[in-house]
Every structure is written in structure tokens, then in C-alpha cells.
Amino acid sequence: MSAPVLDPYDHQLQVDPYPTYARLRRESPLYHNAENDFWVLSRHADIAAALRADEAYSNRMGVSLDATAWNEHAHTVMSFLALDPPEQTRLRRLVSRGFTARRVALLEPQIQRITAHYLDQALAGGGTSSFDWIARVAGTVPMDVISEMLGVPESDRSELRRLADLLVAREHGIRDVPAAGIEASLVLFDYYRAHVAQRHRRPTDDLTSALLSTELEGDRMTDDEVVAFLFLMVVAGNETTTKLLGNALYHLTARPALRDEVLDDPSLVPAWVEETLRYDASTQFVARYLAEDVLLHGVTAPAGSPLLLALGSANRDEAVFAEPDRYDLHRPPKELAQILSFGGGRHFCLGANLARLEARVVLSALLARVRAIEVDHTGCTRFYSANVRGFATVPVTVEVR
Ligand code: HEM
């Protein structure tokens, strides 16, 4: 049998990467893709350790293989996702107060209002309604929640959603950054620059104003750092949450007995969210650059190499999860605590609480409004991306209560 090959840009792999991950975990746990010269870790234990060993595994070059191409557009890498300590530590401390569990929980009524707005529109006909879950709900709520937090006026929000979608639309090879995405990022930067200037003049109670006024031991963020952070929220928090909402509906409805169980018992929603995060993580990989040689399983990856941590593979590692390829809403908390979909260590997702809350609110609101849900699984189209996993369209038919 030939050696396993992992090319995250291969559409064939993106249809179902899990058998390839399983072979890598077994046969080549520190895998080298010789053609494109990058390395991959696929076992849970190795990835969990690498996420914490940030001196050897640097974020400095950006967080995906094509981040090297994005790096040529300097404005996109000013955020701390692409920094190491001590700069990352400083900026993360300055913003983290806006993302504590308590602060995020206070957003629930706003998330409910935004969700109700889009569900009202999608279900307006009453009776039986058919619509694209991504276009009408999953693809709209996350960006509007970010806009709400930042204090972006409602009249600008649909344009910001359009720009955010352009950032992620891509059909390209490893170093090929789409012009429309670069253009959209520049427009978003200009927008946020103007928004920050406005909040300087007239502060409100939004997150933008809070970021501008936060002071820790005499230290503040510069305006450029605040702008870069607002942009980072979009890059990190929009598409990922949209894909989580799409994956959740897709996988649940593919199992009618489970779907009926959740329709009967909405208290299963948190388990539904967690198992979707594990089973089909919307972020499949994060990238690192090796600051030193790494020797694992008898193989040495040399300093200076790019390396992917295959989070989606870690979540299916049989050493941690019983029957990892089963979508199971009754996993023990001990297992669920091992999910690596939000990364780990110093760069652990700042928006994890927010993403979970959004998913719970949106999915609970859907259950409260419908008595039956069917997805046309053959009509779903995959969103092809080297590290974000999910659907471009999920056609759904529901019976409104
Ligand atoms: C970092 C996943 C939603 C903000 C990360 C990382 C992962 C991740 C894997 C670590 C990257 C690395 O180690 O290099 C996800 C997933 C989400 C989600 C799967 C949804 C299902 C959000 C949301 C926000 C957000 C809603 C905020 C609006 C961030 C930020 C970082 C980050 C700011 C950088 C943290 C740092 O570098 O210190 N996310 N994310 N994320 N995420 Fe999320």
C-alpha cells in the first residue's frame, strides 16, 4: 500500500479527510509533505503538547500555510494571532476583559434578537418553509453579532457581511491569495479605522470604546492595534461560527433518530454543539513555524519548517475518544473536555465562549420554532478551503410550529 499523502488544498481530501488522518496517526504521526515542504502532526497527544510548547512552535509567520502569502500584505498580520509572546501576551491581556464568560453571557439577549430577526424572515411563510440555512441564518448571525459588539450601525452591517464573505471566498493554490479578498480586507480596514476615529470622538458602551480606553499598568492599545484586533475578530470569528452552525444541522439531520431526540429534548443542544465541534471542527488546522528542530517518533522536522497541527484529526483520535467516528450526543464530559477545535495554550480561541453561546442560541431558537426538520443532504455544497471545514449551502425544509 502506498504511503499516505496529506495535501490540505486537495478538494478530494476536503470531501472526507478523516480516513487520511487515521492513516497518518497510525503510520506517519510526524508527516512530511515533501512536494510542498511542510510537516503535519495528527495525534491528539502531540498536538496538545505542541499547542503549549510555543517557544518551539511559533505563530510568527501567520496561522495557515497561505498566511505566508497574506504576509506580503502587511496590514493583515498586525493581529496577535500571528505574534508570539511577549507581544501576543501584552495585546491579549488588553482585549481579554471583553471576552470573559461573564461579559459574553451578557450578550445573550442581543444574540437572541439578531437570531429572531433572521429566523422570522426565513420562516415568514409559516407552514412548510424551505430555505438555505447558510444564506439565511448561519451565514448572517455571526458577523452581525461581531458588528453589534463593536457598535457598528445597523445600516452598515449588510455591507460588512458582504466584505467578510469576500475575505474567505477562494479557489486557489498554496501561495495564491485572491485579489477580491485582499481588496475586501483593505476596505474593512478603512471602515474600522474610521469607526475607531469616531469612537475616539464619541465613546459609547461598545467593545470598540472599551478597547480604546482600557489601560493596564499604564499601557494602552494604539489605534492601529485596535483596528487590527477588530479585523482579527472578523477573520477568526465569522466564518468559523457559520461553518459550525452548518455542520451542526447537517450531521444531526443525517441521523433521523438523533434529530428526533433533539427535537423532543432541546436540553441536548449544548451536547449537539460540543459533539459537532469534535466530530467536524470548522478549523481543521492551525499552522506553526518551527523555531528549533523537533524530533518525534524517530523523525526530525528541521527548524524553519512550516508545520500543521491537524486539530480535526486530534478530535478523532481513538486514544482519547471512544468510537471516534461515531457522532454521539451522549459522550462523557471527560472526553468532551479534550476537544481541540479551539486550539490550546496561549493562543486558545478568545471567542470560544462566544461561539458556543451563539451556536446554542441559534440552534435552540430553531428548535423552538419548528416541529420537523429535513436537510437535502445531496443538495448541500461543500465549501472548499484548506483549513476551514463546512458547507457553502445547506438546503433545509422545516415545518413551522
Ligand atoms: C484563535 C477556532 C470562533 C476569536 C482561535 C484558534 C482556533 C480558533 C483553533 C487558535 C489559533 C492558533 O492556535 O493559532 C475557532 C472556532 C470558532 C471560533 C472553531 C467557531 C466555531 C471565534 C469567535 C471569535 C474568535 C466567535 C471572536 C469574535 C479568536 C481570536 C483568536 C482565536 C481573537 C486569537 C487568539 C490568540 O492568538 O491569542 N480560534 N474560533 N474565534 N479566535 Fe477563534
310-178-14 Cα angle (round to 5):
30
Asked whether residue 153 is assigned to any structural domain, the reply reads: yes
**CB 75 within 8 Å of CB 189:** yes
What pLDDT is recorded for position 66?
Answer: 66
Predicted confidence at residue 179, as pLDDT, reads 79
**Local confidence band at 386 (pLDDT 50, 70, 90 cut-offs):** confident
> b/e for 280-303, b at 16 or more Cβ within 10 A?
bbbbbbbbbbbbeebeeeeeebee
**Would you tell me how many other CB atoms lie within 10 Å of the CB of residue 11?**
11
CA distance 372 to 390: 23
- The mean pLDDT value for 222-243 works out to 93
Kindly state if the Cβ of 233 falls inside 6 Å of ligand 1.
yes
Ligand 1 within 6 A of 236 CB? yes
pLDDT of residue 69: 57
Distance (angstroms) between ligand 1 centre and the Cα of 127 equals: 38
Q: What is the pLDDT of residue 322?
A: 98
Q: Is 203 exposed, middle or buried (0-12, 13-18, 19+ CB in 10 A)?
A: middle
- CB-ligand 1 contact for 354 (6 Å cutoff): yes
Q: 53-67, 215-229, 305-319, 370-384 — which is least confidently predicted?
A: 53-67
In-domain check, residue 42 = yes
Is residue 365 one of the residues assigned to a domain? yes
Measured CA to CA, the distance from residue 131 to residue 378 in angstroms comes to 15
| Res. 173: pLDDT tops 70 | no
Does the structure show a pLDDT above 80 at 332?
yes
Per-residue pLDDT at 161: 95
Give distance in angstroms: CA of 237 to centre of ligand 1: 6
pLDDT at 64 (0 to 100): 67
Helix (H) or strand (E) holding 373: strand 370-375
In a domain, 4, yes or no: no
Please tell me the predicted confidence (pLDDT) of residue 384.
Answer: 84
177 vs 107: which has the higher pLDDT: 107
Let me know if residue 284 belongs to a domain.
yes
- Judge if the beta carbon of residue 342 lies within 6 A of ligand 1: yes
| Predicted local distance difference test score (pLDDT) of residue 10 | 86
pLDDT at 76: 53
Between 400 and 235, residue with greater pLDDT: 400
Name the closest-CA residue to atom 1, ligand 1: 349
Report the separation in Å between the CA atom of 205 and the middle of ligand 1, taken as the mean of its atom positions: 24
Q: What is the pLDDT of residue 1?
A: 66
**Residue ranges making up the domain that contains 158:** 11-400
Which phi and psi (to 5°) does residue 368 adopt?
-70, -20
d(CA 305, CA 361): 41
Residue 136 domain-assigned (yes or no): yes
Residue 5 domain flag: no
Which has the closest alpha carbon to 309: 321, 296, 325, 298?
296
- Which residues have C-beta within 8 Å of that of residue 86, sequence separation ≥ 6? none
CA 107-110-116 angle, to 5 degrees, is 140
Give the number of domains in the chain: 1
How far is residue 332's CA from residue 337's CA, in Å, rounded to a whole number? 9
- Whether 150 lines ligand 1, by a CB cut-off of 6 Å, is no
Please give the share of the chain, as a percent, with pLDDT higher than 70.
93
Q: What burial letters (b/e) apply to 373-385, b meaning 16+ CB within 10 Å? A: bebeeeebeebeb
d(CA 67, CA 73): 10
Q: Report the C-alpha gap between 230 and 235 in whole angstroms.
A: 9
Average pLDDT, the chain: 92
Q: What is the pLDDT of residues 35-85, one digit of tens each?
A: 989 999 999 999 999 999 989 999 876 666 766 555 555 555 557 888 888
Lowest mean pLDDT among 66-75, 155-164, 195-204, 306-315: 66-75
Is the CB of residue 242 below 6 angstroms from any atom belonging to ligand 1?
no
In a domain, 267, yes or no: yes
Mean pLDDT of 322-349: 97
- Nearest CA-CA partner of 42 in 19, 10, 64, 69: 19
Bridge pairing between strands 299-301 and 294-296: antiparallel
Give the ligand 1 atom nearest the CA of 95: 33
Scan for cell 499552522, then name that residue: 287
Best residue among 208, 230, 349, 350 to mutate for probing ligand 1's pocket (most ligand atoms within 8 Å of CB) is 349
In 3-state terms, what secondary structure has residue 298? coil
Q: Is the pTM of this model over 0.90?
A: yes
- Residue 28 clears pLDDT 80, i.e. is over it: yes
Distances (CA, A) of 116 to 18, 362, 365: 35, 9, 7
Mean per-residue pLDDT for 251-269? 98
Identify the band that residue 387 occupies on the pLDDT scale cut at 50, 70 and 90: confident
Has the ipTM of the complex gone over 0.95?
A: yes
Whole-angstrom Cα distance, residue 351 to residue 342? 9
Confidence of residue 183 (pLDDT cuts 50, 70, 90): confident
Q: What percent of the chain has pLDDT over 90?
A: 78
Q: Quote the pLDDT of residue 274.
A: 98
CATH code for the domain in which residue 277 is found: 1.10.630.10
Give the span between the Cα atoms of 282 and 268, in whole angstroms.
20
pLDDT band (50, 70, 90) for residue 171: low
Residue 176 has pLDDT above 70, yes or no: no
> Average pLDDT for residues 380-388, to the nearest whole number?
87
Region 345-367: mean pLDDT is 97
Q: Tell me: the pLDDT tens digits for 85-127?
A: 898 999 999 999 889 888 899 999 999 999 999 999 999 988 9
Is 28 within 8 Å of 320 (Cβ atoms)?
no
- The reply to whether ligand 1 has any atom less than 6 angstroms from the CB of 343 is yes
Distance CA 259, CA 251 (A): 9
| Cβ atoms of residues 317 and 311 within 8 Å | no
Contact between residue 300 and residue 56 where contact means Cβ atoms under 8 Å apart = no
Please report the pLDDT score of residue 340 as a whole number. Answer: 98
390 in contact with ligand 1, CB cutoff 6 A: no
